[in-house]
Structure 1
């Protein structure tokens, strides 16, 4: 898993399915272990082709929308969050 491979804490407030072909993640945060927050995102919407997924097991992304993404690169002395 990505979080274990890179020592990250990945959290979110809500994971929703507004439509059958859409995933919405609210308040996504990526925080490296014992470091400052690296990435925050107010809302992420991913629309995908439902029929390809159901019939072919192929997850094809049609559209990605990111609302208020913020990337924070912090380096103090020799310690960085990236």
Structure 2
């Protein structure tokens, strides 16, 4: 906010939105947003995207199981049954 006016912040690249993506590199770096999105091709097993729809879903949910077959990263079964 600037006074009573809302203000949309921009990234260093000038974007007003950031992808909901996180990646972990072999060197142990954590990348988010556009930097992480670029990792999808070269580091697919350690780049997580489209994960918001998993929140609150059970591991045995048919949609979760369908997604697990179509994404490169692993969805794990939590001890409480969540994905």
Superposed pair shares fold, TM > 0.5: no
Superposition TM-score, scaled by structure 1 size: 0.22
Superposition TM-score, scaled by structure 2 size: 0.22
Larger Rg: 2
More relative contact order in 1 or in 2 (CA 8 Å, sep 6+)? 1
